[in-house]
């Protein structure tokens, strides 16, 4: 029996005035309680009770030990109650690491809604396209887009989006639209170098046949917004997710081609360290994001 349990048993014995009453309150036999108290006395090297057939009374040492034990147990109860209360009400600094472009376009604009809903929470944002260890970085959670690395972290999918091949109407008018994926070899493809697949574009037709294109062109960048701006200026063809190019497709600044060919979908995940208890602030933000992306899916062009 551990120290805290022994303390609790001793306090019950003092307050109930007998081993029998203490035993009934914790569903033990009187002999089991007596043995545990004897072991406690042996460990402490002091007699805690004066025992008679008619009375159980604490000794002077027992009375002093009782007062300290009672205070310690009360402090523990108070500490646990305080933690429970804190977990019930989201509060404190929430540290979130997220990709630069996705965070700026889709997370930052909705932070006001979350903070208004949870006034005791503050946000600390770090923006990085590199996958980081949330524990080492001191982050409560990560938001990541794309393929996840194997790890012991917990991941929850928030949303999915399509990748689209697009360029300006002027570019297509000048260079012609591709009739199939392999025709992209004759176009100026703007390559996103940060993808694990590099310049390889994988497309699957309606019959399930895969088409692999090694995209080449005059511009390569590790920043999708750079490629998007270049495409809007008519420089070439981009292959980017709808959450980035959706507004430009809707406005007609870009025109999608090869819509019938499917590509790997860049899923959005929230990631956090494993543990039995998820803090209220993290749970609140995860639920908020899930609700938001459920109501406004990234898979559409808007």
Contacts of 30 (CB under 8 A, 6+ apart): 19, 20, 23
**CATH code for the structural domain at 163-257:** 3.40.190.290
Query: What pLDDT was estimated at residue 59?
Result: 94
pTM of the model: 0.65
* Res 228 pLDDT > 70: yes
Query: Which one is the CATH code of 92-161+266-295: 3.20.20.70, 3.40.710.10, 3.40.190.10, 3.40.50.720?
Result: 3.40.190.10
Region(s) of the chain under CATH 3.40.190.290: 163-257
- Structure confidence at residue 256 as a pLDDT band (50, 70, 90): very high
| 77-100 tens-digit pLDDT | 878 877 776 667 898 999 999 999
| 188-210 tens-digit pLDDT | 999 988 776 678 999 999 999 99
Region(s) of the chain under CATH 3.40.190.10: 92-161+266-295
**CA distance to 20, 56, 108, 163, 293, per residue, from 100 (Å):** 66, 70, 10, 18, 18
Q: Which CATH architecture has domain 3-88?
A: Orthogonal Bundle (1.10)
Give whichever of 48-62, 119-133, 162-176, 189-203 has the largest mean pLDDT: 162-176
- DSSP conformation class of 153: S
Region(s) of the chain under CATH 1.10.10.10: 3-88
Q: Which has the closest alpha carbon to 290: 179, 141, 149? A: 141
Q: Under a CB-based contact definition with an 8 Å cutoff, are residues 140 and 281 in contact?
A: yes
| 284-302 tens-digit pLDDT | 999 999 999 998 877 554 3
Question: Cα–Cα distance between 18 and 68 in angstroms, integer?
Answer: 20
Burial of 90 per CB tally in 10 Å (0-12, 13-18, 19+): buried
């Amino acid at each position: 029996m551990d120290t805290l349990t022994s303390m609790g048993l001793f306090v019950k014995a003092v307050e109930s005035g007998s081993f029998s009453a203490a035993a009934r309150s914790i569903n033990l036999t009187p002999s089991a309680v007596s043995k545990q108290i004897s072991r406690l006395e042996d460990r402490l090297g002091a007699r805690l009770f004066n025992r008679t057939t008619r009375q159980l009374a604490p000794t002077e040492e027992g009375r002093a030990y009782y007062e300290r034990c009672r205070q310690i147990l009360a402090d523990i109860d108070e500490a646990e109650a305080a933690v429970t209360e804190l977990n019930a009400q989201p509060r404190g600094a929430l540290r979130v690491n997220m990709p630069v472009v996705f965070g700026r376009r889709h997370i930052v604009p909705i932070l006001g809604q979350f903070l208004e809903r949870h006034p005791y929470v503050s946000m600390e944002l770090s923006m990085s396209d590199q996958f980081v260890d949330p524990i080492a970085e001191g982050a409560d959670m990560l938001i990541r887009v794309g393929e996840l690395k194997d790890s012991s972290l917990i991941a929850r999918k928030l949303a999915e989006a399509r990748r689209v091949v697009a360029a300006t109407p002027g570019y297509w008018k000048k260079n012609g639209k591709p009739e199939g994926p392999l025709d992209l070899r004759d176009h100026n493809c703007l390559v996103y170098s940060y993808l694990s697949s590099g310049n390889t574009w994988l497309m699957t037709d309606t019959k399930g046949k895969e088409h692999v294109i090694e995209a080449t062109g005059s511009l390569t960048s590790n920043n999708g917004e750079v490629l998007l701006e270049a495409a809007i200026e008519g420089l070439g063809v981009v292959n980017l997710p709808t959450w980035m190019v959706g507004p430009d497709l809707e406005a007609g600044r870009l025109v999608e081609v090869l819509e019938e060919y499917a590509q790997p979908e860049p899923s959005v995940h929230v990631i956090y360290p494993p543990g039995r208890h998820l803090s209220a602030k993290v749970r609140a933000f995860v639920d908020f994001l899930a609700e938001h992306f459920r109501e406004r899916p990234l898979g559409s062009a808007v």
